Each structure stands twice: as C-alpha cells, then as structure tokens.
C-alpha cells in the first residue's frame, strides 16, 4: 500500500514539476518575443498585406543574424501583389527597421463574369485582398471590352472632380462597349457612349446638373445622352 502511495506521489510531483517548467518556458518565450518585437520597427500603413507574416520573416533574419538575407527578403516583399517597394536595414544599436509601401488603388473593376481587380495610378492590376476592401469608384459590366488605361483615365477624371466623385458611384459598360454613369442621386442614368472626348462630355454633364436639374428636378428624366456634339439629349420618365 505504501509503495503504491509513493508511486502516486512521485507521479503527482512529476506532473507539478512539468507544469512549472512549462509555465517558465512559456513565460521566457513570451518575454523573448516581446524583446524581439521591440527590436523590429515597422513603418508602413498596412491595408492589404498581412503584417504578422512579414514580421515573422524579419524575425528569422534577426535570429540567424544573416544580414545577407535582407536584400532577398526585400525582393520577396516587392514581389507581393500589394507591395510597391520595401526597404530593410539594421541600425547601430541592433534594431531592424522595415518600411514598405503598398500600391494605392484608384478604381475597382468587375467584368461580365464578376471577376474583380483594382487598378492603381500606374494602371497596374492589383488583386483583391481578404484583409481589406477599398471603398472606390466601380466599373462594372463588359469592362473586358475596354482597355485598362481608358478605364483609369475616366476614373481619374471622376475622382479629381469633387462633384463627380460624390455623384457618380458606378460606371456601367454594356455589351456594345458604351459607358453609362450611375448617379447616387436621381433616377436617371447618363450615357457617355465611347470613352473619347471625355472633357466635352463631362462639361456637358456639369451643364445638365447646373442648368437643367435646378429647373426640372431630379426625377424628370430617365436617361441623359452626352454622345453628340453640342447636344444634351434628355429622355423623360414615363
């Protein structure tokens, strides 16, 4: 009986010691990670990328002390679909500084099969991110029929105009590659047709909102056609 009791006592003591060792190791590892994190300074406004994954990669460089891996990691970061440029360097006090810049999307594009991507200011296609969804002007419909640089050009014109950026929420492209503005206010749509002569078409659109809407209200027209030179064709609602 005493032998059995002694065995149980030994097992119990072993479990207590194992538990205490686990607590000590966990505490040490936590403190070590905190100290390691303090040595790594990341300067970036992260919206689309997983900064924790980047931090883990930088930690490996710190742990191995292999500074030659810096340029390799910089190249790997710049290959990531949402990062435009990256720079990593060691300071004299042993800290690691990392700065990177993400591509800044200008417009979100959906094609007729509901596939979607962003375009940045250099017309680079940027895939969507599970981490963040940008609130941008939308191009929808048969956008595959229009070249990206034409989409970007129109998006920039809309975004640079305070009134248009607030009034136009979407540009729809039909099967004939004709573009339509879908406004935020009003039941009408605005037909641009092709994406040529945009300056004149946008000027006519502003004339419509400045001169015609104040007289006739927001709900009188179903479609505003800006295709034709020196004309604004307004189709009335039934």
Place of tokens 């190249």: 75
Supply angle C-alpha 43, 131, 159, rounded to 5.
80
Biggest alpha carbon distance in the chain? 108
Establish how many alpha carbons lie within 13 A of residue 161's alpha carbon, considering only the half-sphere containing its beta carbon.
Answer: 17
Report the pLDDT value the prediction gives residue 92, as an integer from 0 to 100: 59
| pLDDT of amino acid 63 | 59
Which pLDDT score, from 0 to 100, does residue 78 have?
A: 75
Q: Consecutive sets of 10 residues in the chain, 238 residues long: mean pLDDT of each?
A: 56 65 51 49 70 71 61 74 78 70 92 95 91 92 96 96 94 96 92 93 93 91 91 88
CB 40 within 8 A of CB 61: no
Distances (CA, A) of 176 to 56, 142, 199, 214: 50, 8, 22, 32
pLDDT of residue 74: 75
Degrees, nearest 5: CA angle 33-53-71: 95
Q: What per-residue confidence (pLDDT) applies to 93?
A: 64
| Cα–Cα distance, 20 to 203 (Å, whole number) | 76
Find out whether 236 and 224 touch, Cβ atoms under 8 Å: no
pLDDT (0 to 100) of residue 219 = 87
Please report the pLDDT score of residue 150 as a whole number: 96
CATH number listed for the domain at residues 105-236: 3.40.50.11690
What superfamily in CATH does domain 2-102 come from? membrane protein fhac (3.10.20.310)
Instruction: Tell me where in the chain the CATH 3.40.50.11690 domain(s) lie.
Output: 105-236
Task: Provide the pLDDT for residue 153.
Answer: 96
For the chain, give every residue range classified as CATH 3.10.20.310: 2-102
Please report, for residues 31, 118, 164, the alpha-carbon distance to residue 104 in angstroms, rounded to integers and kept in the order given: 36, 9, 20
> What pLDDT does residue 31 have?
45
The C-alpha atoms of residue 147 and residue 228 are separated, in whole angstroms, by: 22
pLDDT at site 115: 95
């Amino acid at each position: 009986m005493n032998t059995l009791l002694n065995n149980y006592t030994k097992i119990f003591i072993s479990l207590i010691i194992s538990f205490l060792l686990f607590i000590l190791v966990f505490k040490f590892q936590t403190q070590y990670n905190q100290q390691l994190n303090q040595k790594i300074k990341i300067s970036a406004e992260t919206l689309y990328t997983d900064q924790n994954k980047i931090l883990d990669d930088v930690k490996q460089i710190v742990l191995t002390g292999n500074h030659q891996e810096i340029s390799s990691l910089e190249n790997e970061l710049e290959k990531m679909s949402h990062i435009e440029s990256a720079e990593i360097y060691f300071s004299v006090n042993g800290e690691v500084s990392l700065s990177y810049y993400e591509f800044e999307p200008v417009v979100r594009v959906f094609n007729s099969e509901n596939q979607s991507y962003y375009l940045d200011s250099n017309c680079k296609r940027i895939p969507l991110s599970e981490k963040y969804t940008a609130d941008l002007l939308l191009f929808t419909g048969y956008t595959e029929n229009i070249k990206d640089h034409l989409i970007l050009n129109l998006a920039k014109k809309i975004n640079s105009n305070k009134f248009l950026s607030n009034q136009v929420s979407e540009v729809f492209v039909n099967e004939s590659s004709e573009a339509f503005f879908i406004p935020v206010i009003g039941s009408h749509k605005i037909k641009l047709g092709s994406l040529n002569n945009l300056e004149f078409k946008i000027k006519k659109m502003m004339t419509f909102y400045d001169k015609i809407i104040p007289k006739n209200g927001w709900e009188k027209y179903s479609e505003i056609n800006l295709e034709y030179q020196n004309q604004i064709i307004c189709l009335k609602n039934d």
